[in-house]
Amino acid sequence: MRNIIFDLDGTLVDSLPGIDSSLRSACNEVLPGCDIPPLRKFIGAPLPAMLAAMWPDQDSATISRLVVEFRRRYQRSGWQQTLPFEGVAETLPLLRNAGHRLFVLTNKPSRTATLILEKLGWLPLFQAVISLDSSHPPFACKQDSARFLLQAIPLDPLRTVMVGDGADDCESAAACGFRFIAAAYGYGSAADLCEFRLERFADLNKYLLGSPAHDSARLF
């Protein structure tokens, strides 16, 4: 595998703390007194879709207000609560130094994704960071942004693997002919949809780089 494409939320970083605090603050403004459903299973989808799924009985105007208020709070301070998953900081440089080209493909707005990667010191490790708003007009879905990345670099699908936790990550990889590895420790349902799964991010080092002691465990 020459190319590795990573999802961001639920794969490289745990964004739940900042999303939770920003959403609670936004709800206090727009839907005071409302119950907030368990958040974890909704993370990863584009924000309007995520909020609409959480409150299907709310009208589009209310969801739009929630989007505005959430983004205001998240962009001000919520993103700074993002934490790296265990093993990511150590593994990414190993993969890069071994000659892999690394990419991020995320539903998070490009400015916020860049701020998070800069704060963690990872931005120089990635050849490109692609968000839905990396295009004008924005990409309609993650599959479209994946196809753009495939053609823009360009990437050889047979030498490309995507790593993510969401169903849309798995679907995007399939649409482009990429191999896929599910981040089973993340928020989404991708681990239920594919054969290969990571219980720990650091296992990528074993699966993709390999060693005499781990050759039998390599996936590709």
Ramachandran sector of residue 87 (left: φ over 0; alpha: ψ -120 to 50; beta: rest): left
Q: pLDDT of the chain along its 220 residues, tens only? A: 899 999 999 999 999 999 999 999 999 999 998 888 888 888 878 899 999 999 999 999 999 999 999 999 999 999 999 999 999 999 999 999 999 999 999 999 999 999 999 999 999 999 999 999 999 999 999 999 999 999 999 999 999 999 999 999 999 999 999 999 999 999 888 888 877 889 999 999 877 865 443 443 444 4
Alpha helices in the chain, H assignment, sequence order: 16-30, 47-54, 60-76, 88-97, 110-120, 142-152, 167-176, 203-204
- At 138 the pLDDT is 94
- At 8 the pLDDT is 97
- At 17 the pLDDT is 94
- Dump the DSSP string for 144-168: HHHHHHHHHTT--GGGEEEEESSHH
178 in helix, strand or coil?
coil
For the CA atoms of 210, 106, 177, 171, the dihedral, rounded to the nearest 10 degrees, stands at 110
Q: Cα separation of 218 and 42, whole Å? A: 31
- At 189 the pLDDT is 85
Tell me the pLDDT tens digit for each residue of 146-203. Answer: 999 999 999 999 999 999 999 999 999 999 999 999 999 998 888 888 778 899 999 9
Domains located in the chain, CATH noted: 3-14+83-217 (3.40.50.1000), 16-80 (1.10.150)
Q: Cα separation of 9 and 7, whole Å? A: 6
